Amino acid sequence: MNEMNVSLTPTEKKILQAATEVFLEKGRRGARMAEIARRAGINKALLHYYFRSKDRLYLMVFRLKIRQFFDEIFASLPQTDDIQEFTRQLISLYIEKLYRHNQVTQFILWELAQGGEELRHLFREALHGNQTPRVQYLVEKFRTAMERGEIARCDVVHLILTLVGASLYPFIAREVVETIYPDVQVLTPEFVEQRKQEVFRIVWNGLKPRT
């Protein structure tokens, strides 16, 4: 689950591993090259030999993780034509990925806190690049269902904001949530399953055709 891309030398892998850890814990600015070197079992000079600067190293780590995350999601989009089932599986997939790629949610948090510039960059790239068909597939799916009257006409943007916000929040605010509700353990299969069901229930309530 933690492998970096193959076709990297063992040293590069060690560095990326260590860098990931430190950037996650301390953030882009708070991270220290010396600590990354220490955890990778090498020295600072070698970091610069391989990645030239702290900034380049950060971008390498960050983009690798985020791309991997979204690639996995788009690679396994549900195929069913039943829009209710599609929605259920989509939410389940998204929350499952948030759960399994916990590092990614942490990176997203850091990025958002800094203004999200790198995230915007990646999104623009994805939207203008070869990800476009996959993104459009999603939008088309809902648009078609809406035209067919299989789901209610509604503001799709707000619905997506609700879906993403409700899914993401427990993972990014994990420590706080677990403090306020001591019997909640976010990173457990049980909680994740409950969350999938709850988000689907609430989103589908907002989608299903008015009767």
- Positions in the binding site for DNA (CB under 7 A): 9, 11, 31-34, 42-46, 48-49, 52-55
The two structure tokens encoding residue 104: 């990614």
Which of 1, 155, 190, 211 binds a copy of itself (CB under 8 A)? It is 155
Q: Judged by CB, which is closer to DNA: 14, or 97?
A: 14
Q: Does 94 bind a copy of itself (CB under 8 A)?
A: no
The percent of the chain in helix, strand and coil, each rounded to the nearest 5, is 75, 0, 25
> Rounded to a whole number, what is the distance in angstroms from the first to the last CA of the chain?
45
Q: Which two tokens stand for residue 189?
A: 């299969």
User: Which one, 32 or 148, has the nearer CB to DNA?
Assistant: 32
Q: Using N-to-C axis directions, what is the helix angle for 33-40 and 10-30, rounded to 10°?
A: 150
* Residue 119 CB, nearest approach to a copy of itself (Å): 5
52 binds, among DNA, a copy of itself, none (CB under 5 to 8 A by kind): DNA
Give the number of other Cβ atoms within 10 Å of residue 23's Cβ.
24
Q: Which stretch binds a copy of itself (CB under 8 A): 45-53, 59-67, 83-91, 151-159?
A: 151-159
3-state SS string for 81-146? CCHHHHHHHHHHHHHHHHHHCHHHHHHHHHHHHCCCHHHHHHHHHHHHCCCHHHHHHHHHHHHHHH
Task: List the single partner that 193 binds among DNA, a copy of itself, none, CB under 5 to 8 Å by kind.
Answer: none
Tell me which residue of 86, 91, 73, 66 sits closest to 168, measured CA to CA. 91
Q: Which of 11, 17, 131, 162 binds a copy of itself (CB under 8 A)?
A: 162
**Which residues neighbour 195 within 8 Å (Cβ) at sequence distance 6 or greater?**
95, 167, 170
* Residue 165 binds: one of DNA, a copy of itself, none (C-beta under 5 to 8 A by kind): a copy of itself
The residue among 45 and 180 lying less far from DNA, judged by its C-beta, is 45
Residues that bind a copy of itself (CB under 8 A): 26-27, 29-30, 106, 109-110, 112-117, 119-120, 123-124, 127, 155, 157-159, 161-162, 164-170, 172-173, 175-177, 179-181, 184, 194-195, 198-199, 201-203, 205-206
